Structure 1
Amino acid sequence: MNDNGKSQTLEATDRRMEVLSTKTKTRLGFWNVRTMYQTGKLAQVTSEMRRYNLHILGVSETRWIGSSRVITSTGETLLYSGREDSKHQEGVAIILKKGAEKSLIEWKPVNSRLIKIRMRGRHMNMTIIQCYSPTNDSEEEAKDSFYEQLDTEVKLTPRHDVLIIMGVLNANVGKDNSNNERAMGKHGCGTMNENGERLIDFCNTNNLVVGGTLLPHRDIHQLTWYSPNDRDKNQIDHMMINGIWRRSLIDVRVKRGADVGSDRQLVTAMIKLKLRKSQKMAHAPTKFNVQKLQDPRIRHSFVLQVKKRFQALQDLDTEVSVDMINSTYEHIKTAYQQSAKECLGFRTKKGSKE
């Protein structure tokens, strides 16, 4: 990727701000600001970003055209992706706190509804996709196109990355997670709509979970949109994380104090990487003590043991099939392992005989 388009890879030679680790909390935010195509609007947005001490902020409905990378007057790095037809509609962006850009591996302006970045972490890298989905009343073709492109970007993401998809999904997922326990929790708001069904199906297919439904909060800390008359309220902006990392998502909540003149609320999230503890083996030794093979008597005994066990292979069916090949392989492996275990034993960590 380059600054004006496709892809950009960055080499950080100096010290990077840590954006993902087991010791520090990464603070993310996403916000539909309704437009950035106004004088002073960018300064307002970055001011609120600093006030809430966010490392990364995803922005929807920027209404900027084209795509580029910009450094703000206060040091934030802005990456944006918009329409190419000169229409000031849609548009997405990701803003990085000053210093966080040094952890940026690459970024991709997909289209006016999707932008993708990849950040370097201490133990794991993190991929973030900022979204601006078609509304629930949009044409089916537009919705299909959006989810097809989003699915493509998810499939292109390295499978070990912590994957975050966030932004305006225009989807009500509701409270009822029956038969969708892997994709959402029980703490959503309202009732699921058609876009909500699409989103949950997408999450089930890609092993994602809707973060805002996992933790109990008051409705005012979950509802992301209010109608002008304050009568209608919905939770339609969401963050998803891949299921294997769901324990690393500490919190997702609305910050009602943030204000840039939008009818949407700023949503923030905290992530602290939690790695799985490696399971200890039942016995410490894992390597056979092959040094014993230097002794002719032990070597002879080992060969006899292997031959004896290989005798059983002569009774196997000679018809070639996948199952037969797998079975034969297992017999051969077992023959060598059992013979080595009886004749050689294991080495300790220091290499001494057991």
Structure 2
Amino acid sequence: MKLKLEKHWTAGEKSVQRFNTAFLRDTNKLSQIKITIDNRKKKKTAINNSRTRAEKVKAQAEYTEANKKVKGIRIDKQNYVEELATTAEKAAREGNMEQLYDTTKKLAGRYSKPERPVKDKEGTWNVRTMWDTGRAFQIAAEMRRYNLEVLWISETHWTQAGQQRLTSGELLLYSGHEEENATHTQGVALILSKQAQNALIGWESHGPRIIKASFKTKKEDITMNIIQCYAPTNDYNEDAKDQFYNRLQSIVEKCPTKDLTILMGDFNAKVGKDNTGYEDIMGRHGLGERNESGERFANLCAFNKLVIGGTIFPHKRIHKTTWTSPDHTTQNQIDHICINKTFRRTIKDVRTKRGADIASDHHLLVAKMKLKLKKHWTTGWTISQKFNTTFLQDTNKLNKFKLALSNKFQAFHDILNGEGTTVESNWKGIKEAITSTCHEVLGQKKHHHKEWTTVDTLDKIQERRNKKAAINTSRTRAEKAKAQAEYTVVNKQVKKSIRTDKRKYVEDLATTVEKAARAGNMRQLYDITKKLSGNRRKPERLVKSKEGEVTTKIEEQRNRWVEHFKELLNRPAPLNPPNIEAAPTDLPINVGPPTIEEISMAIRQIKSGKVAGPDNIPAEALKADTKSQLYGSLWNNQLNGIHHSTSTSLTTKRHLIAWTEQHYGNFFDTTACLKR
């Protein structure tokens, strides 16, 4: 029998061969088989070491016998499989599903998958511009197509610094010229996948040429610092180059040596394939000859012990070139991904992906990382669930919701009057009743991020991608020139089609706005007007510590806000309080508990369409059943303890707490609320 061997990947990349058959495990014949195979190996060695013809003939005969015994294992395996099949049939007839499952698993012949390490992929790309209509959508699509965790971008042509949420769910962080009316040149950015957003610690904007971000990794004590750059070209004067590299040096040296530091981007620097004098930070797999910018870049890497990844992995020339000249005759390696020498083994490969297309003269450069981002890292910040409250506008759904909520409230009403209950436990019961009813009847609201690009435009983008593939596979100069001309034509069609789609999208929104205005639907009117404004980018606002230093980490920024409001809302009493004269007569104010009608009126006055708090109870759910006796019972039974509750509940609704605040003050901790 010919045994199938399987590689099992380990963290050290050593392949360990294991017999992966249920036959060997179930019959305990592994030692027997090893002896048989070892015996055949010995006979083979005896043949090779034979000195005379007689010895060789004898050894050959013994080897033939040993080989027959090894092949006899196949017969045992066939008998074993037949026995398993019979057992599986019997288990199926008897309805013994557990035995049927186990036997079927043995018949499959595999007990576990090999643990192949899943590598994170980071990419850097000079896209020429993101200022054109539809560019962000196309770049995000290519990012998903190549399964990148983070994509770093050069030449965005966006101004100022900030962040924007793309319709497909990715987060875009960008940095450009600080002036509001600056020209749309240079600019750097990064796009985070949904998983990478959970690992983001913080990010820093350093002008139109440098941006930095930090991420949590699987290793608790290691932070990944990535710096994206867009260096000046050779046409710039020496002062501009010195200013860029001095600023870059100041940023790199602030990264702790114990952390993983990655430097990447378009450096407009050719480092060449000669690594003489730079053996510690370069390999011999670069391209061309080193130029002046390459000398600067290599010196920076040598000083900071950064290994240039594109020079240490052997690849074809086409997988090393990152830039093509406008005449399509010259190709160079000017985009780079570097990593500090301590973590040299963390980077597994660096190469270009020529299939990625955005109508740029640069290729997408991708690095495979062994150290993965910590994708499920959270800071305790919970995201509220949104229920589909629009269903409550339907009479049938509303009645169903009322009935379900009434039944749960009726069951809870008996518990409310029991002994040993606290206001906190009772409130949790009410909250659970309302939220569970929302889950059952309404369900969660699904966000449909509708792209305004049409199928026709997507087809043209795919056609352009095919034309680029034709350019990459051209064998002669004539074929390449023809493919390039066709690519230019299709690219113009893509731009025209995107502009047409955008115009139609805006016209449809304007029509919807008019209908919403005539119908008096102010919420829809506001939302669509916000879309029509087109400015969804949020400029970055710096958060400073008490000492005036800028804080870039998200957790530190949150703690600073908590500290600020704690000081703001908890001022000490004045030393000389004002002497306010008492009123001559008491005002006729009813200080008794509110009636059910008053509570119902307060609930009805809450504005609909507002985001729920941490309790996840929308205002529409409260309005659906305002006549419930449960609120009044809770108020009458346990009013004395309600102000001790730190949970946001019905009492946090603005109109409902108005009466209570006059007598009991603010009964939830603002600082605790901010932390939540």
Same fold (TM over 0.5): yes
Which residues of structure 2 form unaligned runs of 5+? 1-115, 373-676
Residue 80 (structure 1) aligned to one of 159, 174, 187: 174
How many residues are aligned here? 253
State the distance in 2 between where 1:140 and 1:228 align: 25
Larger Rg: 2
- Normalised to the residue count of structure 1, the TM-score between the two structures is 0.70
- Answering whether residue 213 of structure 2 is matched by residue 117 of structure 1, we say yes
Alignment of structure 1 residues 265-344 onto 2, 5 Å:
265-273=363-371
Alignment of structure 1 residues 13-162 onto 2, 5 Å:
23-85=117-179, 86-123=182-219, 124-162=222-260
- Structure with greater helix percent: 2
Q: Deviations over 1:235-292 (max 9, x none)?
A: 0000110011111110000100000010110010101039xxxxxxxxxxxxxxxxxx
State the distance in 1 between where 2:232 and 2:214 align: 24
| 2:217–2:371 contact (8 Å) kept in structure 1 | no
Identical pairs, percent: 49
State the distance in 2 between where 1:26 and 1:127 align: 15
Residue matched to 1:243: 341
Residue 211 (structure 1) aligned to one of 301, 304, 309: 309
Following TM superposition, by how much is the alpha carbon of 1:23 offset from its aligned partner in structure 2, in angstroms?
4.4
State the distance in 1 between where 2:232 and 2:281 align: 21
State the distance in 1 between where 2:218 and 2:347 align: 17
Which residues of structure 1 form unaligned runs of 5+? 1-21, 275-354
| AA in 2 matched with 1:189 | L
State the distance in 2 between where 1:259 and 1:76 align: 19
Query: What secondary structure sits across from 2:250 in the alignment?
Result: helix
State the distance in 2 between where 1:273 and 1:266 align: 21
Following TM superposition, by how much is the alpha carbon of 1:160 offset from its aligned partner in structure 2, in angstroms?
1.2
Query: What secondary structure sits across from 2:272 in the alignment?
Result: coil
Q: Deviations over 1:105-128 (max 9, x none)?
A: 010011100000000012121000
Larger RCO (alpha carbons 8 Å, 6+ apart): 1
| 2:218–2:371 contact (8 Å) kept in structure 1 | no
Q: Deviations over 1:18-59 (max 9, x none)?
A: xxxx94311000000000001100000000000000001000
Query: What secondary structure sits across from 1:239 in the alignment?
Result: strand
State the distance in 1 between where 2:371 and 2:171 align: 24
Q: Deviations over 1:176-219 (max 9, x none)?
A: 00111012110000000000000110011001110000000001
CA RMSD in angstroms comes to 1.2
Following TM superposition, by how much is the alpha carbon of 1:99 offset from its aligned partner in structure 2, in angstroms?
2.4
Query: What secondary structure sits across from 1:99 in the alignment?
Result: helix
State the distance in 2 between where 1:203 and 1:165 align: 9
Following TM superposition, by how much is the alpha carbon of 1:84 offset from its aligned partner in structure 2, in angstroms?
1.9
Residue matched to 1:284: none
Following TM superposition, by how much is the alpha carbon of 1:230 offset from its aligned partner in structure 2, in angstroms?
1.4
Q: Deviations over 1:89-109 (max 9, x none)?
A: 000001111121111001001
Query: What secondary structure sits across from 2:194 in the alignment?
Result: coil
- Structure with greater strand percent: 1
Residue matched to 1:179: 277
